[in-house]
């Protein structure tokens, strides 16, 4: 973890990617923010297809966190759960996956040869799994680092104070020791909108040891700009 604390999330984006077009929203005269919504189809070793925004051969992945944590464990293993609790959550995820398989969109996707990652879909829809969410789009990481989910209203709101961080790792999918998975386009929209990849953790594995992190101050005004970009710009809407 770096000792430097940046003034806002846009400084972190500039640190990682100084030419990223998401930086335009900090400048009211920066021009219209347009997201590249193209996905490329590629074949996998298992004979199935995936659709992703960029080539995953050698890439940079990000993860946004709305606070500063010393560790980064997947939801299945957070809080030192008992073996019984882990098993119960795994069974819940399997039940959810069985329900997903009954949707026509999932059946059509499988028929068309898509590699449907039901485990990742479970993760993105709130089930506890052994997957850490990562993305190839730093603006998505910035969103989750600056917005807090409210269960009562089923929505996100901008964080007004405290600290946040964005983690980064540069890895090659399939590299020994890096259990990254391609998610991308799936039968349900959320994974594509979030430019989703995943990292499968072994029990006790701490993703913080596989990534670097830059801390920033939560700035209510800057965070609202991020929220507005996703909530008001149809090219950047994230389903919640």
Q: pLDDT digit string (tens) for 24-81?
A: 888 766 556 666 667 888 888 889 998 887 655 557 899 999 999 999 999 999 999 9
Is 0.85 topped by the overall pTM? yes
Is the pLDDT at 234 greater than 60? The verdict is no
Q: What is the mean pLDDT of residues 148-155?
A: 82
The pLDDT tens digits of the residues spanning 88-128 come to 999 999 999 999 999 999 999 999 999 999 999 999 888 99
Q: How confident is the model at residue 240 (pLDDT cuts 50, 70, 90)?
A: very low
Contact between residue 215 and residue 68 where contact means Cβ atoms under 8 Å apart? yes
Is the pLDDT at 135 greater than 50? The verdict is yes
Q: What is the mean pLDDT of residues 143-151?
A: 90
Match 């464990």 to its residue by tokens: 73
SS3 label, residue 118: helix
The pLDDT tens digits of the residues spanning 179-232 come to 788 888 899 888 877 888 899 999 999 999 989 999 999 999 999 999 988 876
Q: How would DSSP label each residue in 6-75?
A: ESSHHHHHHHH-TT-GGGGGGSTTS---------EEEE-TTS-EEEESS--SSEEEEEEESS--S----G
Contact between residue 161 and residue 220 where contact means Cβ atoms under 8 Å apart? yes
Burial 176-210 (b: 16+ CB within 10 A, else e): eeebbbbbbbbbbeebbbbbbbbbbbeeebebbeb
**For residue 216, what is the enclosing H or E element?**
strand 212-217
pLDDT of 195 reads 84
Q: What is the mean pLDDT of residues 130-134?
A: 94
The pLDDT tens digits of the residues spanning 159-188 come to 999 999 999 998 766 555 567 888 888 998
């Amino acid at each position: 973890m770096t000792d430097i604390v940046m003034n806002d999330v846009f400084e972190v984006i500039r640190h990682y990617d100084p030419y990223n077009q998401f930086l335009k929203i900090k400048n009211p005269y920066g021009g219209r923010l347009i997201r590249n919504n193209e996905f490329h189809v590629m074949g996998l070793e298992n004979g199935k297809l995936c659709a992703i925004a960029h080539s995953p051969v050698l890439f940079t992945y990000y993860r946004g966190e709305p606070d500063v944590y010393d560790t980064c464990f997947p939801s299945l293993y957070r809080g030192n759960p008992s073996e019984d609790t882990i098993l119960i959550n795994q069974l819940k995820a399997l039940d959810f996956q069985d329900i997903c398989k009954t949707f026509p969109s999932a059946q059509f996707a499988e028929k068309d040869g898509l590699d449907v990652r039901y485990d990742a879909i479970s993760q993105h829809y709130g089930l506890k799994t052994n997957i850490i969410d990562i993305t190839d789009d730093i603006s998505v990481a910035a969103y989750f680092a600056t917005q807090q989910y409210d269960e009562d209203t089923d929505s996100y709101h901008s964080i007004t104070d405290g600290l946040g961080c964005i983690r980064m790792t540069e890895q090659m999918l399939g590299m020994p020791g890096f259990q990254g998975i391609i998610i991308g386009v799936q039968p349900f929209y959320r994974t594509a909108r979030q430019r989703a990849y995943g990292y499968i953790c072994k029990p006790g594995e701490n993703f913080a040891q596989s990534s670097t992190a830059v801390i920033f101050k939560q700035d209510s005004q800057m965070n609202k700009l991020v929220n507005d970009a996703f909530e008001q710009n149809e090219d950047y809407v994230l389903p919640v």
